[in-house]
Amino acid sequence: MVLTHTDHGLYCAAGDFFIDPWQPVARAVISHAHGDHARAGSAAYLCATPGESILRLRMGPEAHIETAAYGQTLRLNGVAVSFHPAGHILGSAQVRVAHDGEVWVVSGDYKTEPDPTCAPFESVAADTFITEATFGLPIYRWQPSAAVFDQINAWWRANQTAGRTSVLFAYALGKAQRILAGVDAAIGPIYVHGAVHRLNAAYRAAGVPLPHWRYAGDAPPDQDWSQALVIAPASTQGTPWLRRFGDVSAAFASGWMRVRGQRRRRSVDRGFVLSDHADWPGLLAVIAATGAGRVLVTHGYTAVLARYLRENGREAYELNAPYSGESLDEAANEGAPEAH
């Protein structure tokens, strides 16, 4: 058994390291920088090179962070460890661990649809594959992102005609940058919340091209917002920060918007189905491509996906872990909102 489940997280005893631990440890191998997978307090971190700028922003300047390029093999006490693109956000990686002729791959979070803000997903062969199941129900099937961005652009133009500010709620890390890269920036000015602004800068520092944006906090008090698109974390909904934009049309971009009731729950005018996680067909395709004889399913609809895999002849089990995936409440994935 290459990895074991402990109170601190997934542990490789032979290599003496943890993968995405949920408690502080001596050495943490990190799949990506979302807060439910990268937690503060560990003595040392190892991540894929493209994710260093974001992990540094999240962990602080004093954190000890080492990196490895995608596909580069490191030896940790004789255990072979390498990172492979997961297509989730900038720097996201599947972690391949090989020891004594056995290969485990920990997926972290992943998506298979192309995204200009991060390296595309790559399939990795494994004996045991640990997969997420955030959207592990057959109802979750995504449209091509180009069609979703057409919908967002049309909504933005209609709001301009009505003289309303377009406020689009999205996760500050990953989703916001994907939206910024995907919308038609020629429609009008794009403003962002401070949490998004800081992460945009980290993306730029990592070499990801993003169109021009403006920090909403720098706008003058008499700013006309009626032609603008404002990208902000959903945690700003109903706060004084949001009231500065006057008459707004609010929307939320998330895979959860596939279910109409979630739009009502969020009290938004529009819901755009845009996720940084694999949909049901994507999960099944990735699992099949690994060739894994054993699949462990963590965070999300674990019971449904594991049962489906077993019914179709694959050894599969649930693996309990405190990861939140694409949380509607953002608590694990977002930075704190601005106080003003």
- What is the chain's pLDDT, residue by residue, as a tens digit (340 residues)? 899 999 999 999 999 999 999 999 999 999 999 999 999 999 999 999 999 999 999 999 999 999 999 999 999 999 999 999 999 999 999 999 999 999 999 999 999 999 999 999 999 999 999 999 999 999 999 999 999 999 999 999 999 999 999 999 999 999 999 999 999 999 999 999 999 999 999 999 899 999 999 999 999 999 999 999 999 999 999 899 999 999 999 999 999 999 877 777 778 999 999 999 999 999 999 999 999 999 999 999 999 999 999 999 999 999 988 887 665 555 444 443 343 3
Contact 293, 127 (CB under 8 A): yes
What is the structure's pLDDT at 334?
A: 46
State the Cα–Cα distance between residues 193 and 200, nearest whole angstrom: 10
Taking phi over 0 as left and psi of -120 to 50 as alpha, with beta for the rest, 207 belongs to: left
Q: Taking the mean position of all CA atoms in its chain, how far away is CA 152?
A: 20
The per-residue pLDDT for 340 is: 32
Would you state the CATH architecture of domain 4-140+277-318?
A: 4-Layer Sandwich (3.60)
Predicted pLDDT at 261: 77
Residues of the chain with CATH 3.40.50: 145-272
Listed in order, the ranges of the chain carrying CATH 3.60.15.10 are 4-140+277-318
- Sheet of 248-253, strands arranged across: 214-215, 190-192, 229-232, 165-169, 248-253, 270-272
CA 90 to mean position of chain CA atoms: 9
Among 146, 138, 136, CA closest to 272 = 146
> In sequence order, what E strands does 107-256 have?
128-133, 165-169, 190-192, 214-215, 229-232, 248-253
CATH 3.30.2450 fits 145-272, yes or no: no
Inter-residue contact 32 to 86 (CB < 8 Å): yes
Query: 52 with 45: CB under 8 angstroms?
Result: no
Instruction: List the one residue out of 85, 91, 64, 46 whose CA is nearest residue 203.
Output: 91
> Nearest to residue 324, comparing CAs of 31, 4, 35, 32?
35
pTM of the model: 0.93
Residue 172 is given by DSSP the state: T
Alpha helices by DSSP H, the chain: 52-59, 145-162, 175-182, 194-205, 240-243, 260-266, 280-290, 302-311
Question: In Å, how far from its chain's centre is CA 188?
Answer: 27
How much is the pLDDT for 321? 83
